[in-house]
Structure 1
Amino acid sequence: METASASVYDELEPPVGTDAIEHWLDLSAGADPIEPHPGVALIKARAQLGRLVKQRDWLSRELAAMREAHQGACDTIAQMHKAAVGEVRGPKLGVVEDVTDLRSRYLDEADRANRLETELTEARAVIQQIGRTGVIAPEAAQPRCTAEVSDHTCTCLAGPQATHQPISAATIRDDAPDETATDVSTETHDG
């Protein structure tokens, strides 16, 4: 009798050491991974868009200041050249190396602004794609999401629960209004 009760308790005791690791791996291998809700990608995309807009605004102000500094340096050097020689021949820009250094820094920042504008456009495209289809694209790092799409609302079926999560065009709009977006506040969702 005692051996029967001892074997029951042996089965109930948690494994230790490498047995515990093997037991955990056996349990976790059969579990389905939990898929994130598609709205998480939208939130992340909007946050990235906000950061890119702030960077673009800061960079625009920085470029304007550099442009003014460049023009001011050119004007100063042209005035100095006029005082020394009596007249300025040719364009004011590019008179000496200091101005060239400022110009190269300005061009580098302009290239950086162009790259930032490209990233901003890509982030807006991701948000618009989510708004049109309700499906998070694979490049947005979202696994397995199928969608039923109607004219104004879409329903995502995500995860093993397959719960219906309505996503409306009104919730996906960017800061700027879109002519193709419609107001879906009066629509109902049958889910």
Structure 2
Amino acid sequence: MSETPYCGWAPVSDTLYRDYHDTEWGVPERDPRALWEKLQLDGMQAGLSWITILRKRESIREEFDNLDPQRLSRWTGKRIAKAMENPGIIRSAKKIEAVIGNARVYLDMMDRGEDFADYCWEWVGGKPIVGAWTDFRQAPTFTDWSVAMSKDLKKRGFKFVGPTIVYAWAQAVGMVNDHEVSCPRHREVRKIK
């Protein structure tokens, strides 16, 4: 099989990674609920590889009530204990508790009339920042704005939202287009409005 000009982090041999790269990663997301869900998944990744999250994503969604903030905000210790028995998820009490707390913060923002999508996109001026990397390893792992956004999220009560997590999430949700410039997706996602 010949090599393609796609981003080097998404190996051709791993169909799950490649499908994620080719259909989701870097596509600008404007739905507040979807942005929140993806931030939770990135938080669960802390200390793990992204492929671990991709492999467990459907089990996570199933166990976590489809990552519905309303339902998660009502979880009790008993419900957390039940989730901890599921080998198909990331079984970290701290991460599970963070998702529950983050659901409450998200709902509080929305209840106060603060749209989570508007909040997120303000950090990048409302449109994707476009990288010009020839190799994915050239992209930063955090930036001044991801540090500032991380601090603001933490001040609001969010957990597992460090600057590196925030930047990786921003890449995933298309707030940043860090596809390698030779990757066809670099041009394709730039055309998405």
The structure showing larger relative contact order (alpha-carbon pairs under 8 Å, at least 6 residues apart) is 2
Larger radius of gyration: 1
Give TM class, smaller chain: under 0.3
TM-score (norm 1): 0.23
Q: TM-score, normalised by structure 2?
A: 0.23
Greater fraction of residues in strand: 1
